[in-house]
Amino acid sequence: MRTAVVIGTGLIGTSVALVLAGRGVTVHLRDHDPDRARTAAALGAGTDEVPGETVDLAVVAVPPAHVAATLAEAMRGGTARGYLDVASVKGGPRRELEALGLDLTSYLGTHPMSGKERSGPLAATADLFEGRPWVLTPGPDTDTEVLNLALELVSMCRGVPVVMDADAHDRAVALISHTPQLISSMVAARLENADETAVRLCGQGIRDVTRIAASDPGMWVDILTANPGPVADVLAGVAADLDETVGALRALQSADEDKRLGGAGAVEAVLRRGNAGRARVPGKHGAAPAAYETVAVLVSDRPGELARIFADAGRAGINVEDVRIEHATAQQSGLVQLIVEPQAAPVLASALREQGWSIRT
């Protein structure tokens, strides 16, 4: 691949362009907002000049509702030898393209499973896709050359290619991405008019659950509009669980001991089902989830504290598998939770105590 056009210079499009430009590909940037294309170009993602000839690959990075029209325009104009899109919904855009009567041998729908709460070219980074699944949904008529171009792009971005059927992809992302976004937003919405005293008690649990609620609503309306059926199906199941759990909690208020016992059992059942589902989420490097232990360290909010902790852990010969930070309310301190293998936890705790760190259990 020597030349490319990236159409849509938001977070994903600009991140793709940064990778390609960094690998020596001549990248031409297009956007319905010329200022965004110029911003991406200023970041080193390519040039906003129109290509003088057909390029090797066109990457369409626009919202799902606009994918088909954007691709159709590019195809009819002979923009590239191969075309792919990076939208988060795959079945609908392909059916729209088929309805337009276009030759889809040069097209491949893809979806890099990566993103941020922030959007726009200024949020883009060349490492956005590293180690992340990148779904490819070739059709029966997809040309091998286009598939190879897509695989080359994924390799440049250091993503992990995953081949799926387009509709199976849409059902999957409804479960693991689109529904969680809505539920996160619904939980966060409970905080909007909550008493200030309650909000000041927020800890890491509510921060974890509501993190993605900070995402751009306009972007998510576009995504959900393109995949409403599968998302509604998942939410219907969640709604059934909610109704059952509400009933169980009401039963716990009953004066009837049998009702209270039944309510407790139902609450425990949904919590245990949650345990079982959470255990299926892939762990480090995509392997089966491992059992880890946490060493919590009290740190002050001063420059260099995290670096010192990791340096001390390294000197103790401990590999930190993951890290979380829980900030203390109204204090210049917080807890750094170091996630390690069980046998390493006591060794790490002892080593850090020797270095003067305050360990919390």
Residue ranges of domains in the chain, CATH in brackets:
3-164 (3.40.50.720), 171-278 (1.10.3660.10), 293-360 (3.30.2130.10)
Indicate the SS3 state at residue 62.
Answer: coil
The answer to whether the CB of 260 falls within 8 A of the CB of 246 is no
3-state DSSP helix/strand/coil % of the chain, to nearest 5: 50, 15, 30
pTM: 0.79
Q: What is the pLDDT of residues 257-278, one digit of tens each?
A: 999 999 999 999 999 999 999 8
Q: What are the CB-based long-range contacts (under 8 Å, 24+) for 319-328?
A: 319/344, 321/284, 321/290, 321/292, 322/284, 322/292, 324/204, 326/203, 326/204
Write down the pLDDT at residue 189.
Answer: 97
Write down the pLDDT at residue 215.
Answer: 87
| Cα 342 → chain centroid | 28
Q: Which residue in 338, 266, 272 sits closest to 299, CA to CA?
A: 338
Distance between CA 230 and CA 91 in Å, rounded? 11
Buried b (16+ CB within 10 A) or exposed e, 267-294: beeeeeeeeeeeeeeeeeeeeeeeebbe
Distance between CA 31 and CA 151 in Å, rounded? 24
Write down the pLDDT at residue 28.
Answer: 98
Write down the pLDDT at residue 334.
Answer: 79
Write down the pLDDT at residue 116.
Answer: 77
Sheet containing strand 333-340, edge to edge, reads 322-327, 333-340, 293-300, 358-360
Per-residue CA distances from 338 to 203, 291, 304, 319 (Å)? 17, 14, 16, 10
Q: What is the pLDDT of residues 111-139, one digit of tens each?
A: 999 887 678 999 999 999 999 999 999 99
- Using only C-alpha atoms, what is the Rg of the chain? 24
The answer to whether the CB of 309 falls within 8 A of the CB of 357 is yes
Output phi, psi for 167, to 5 deg.
-70, -35
Q: Give the residues of the chain that fall short of pLDDT 50.
A: none
Q: How many other C-beta atoms lie within 10 A of the C-beta of residue 312? A: 18
Q: Which residue in 30, 164, 173, 165 sits closest to 88, CA to CA?
A: 173
How do strand 293-300 and strand 333-340 relate by DSSP bridges? antiparallel
Write down the pLDDT at residue 11.
Answer: 94
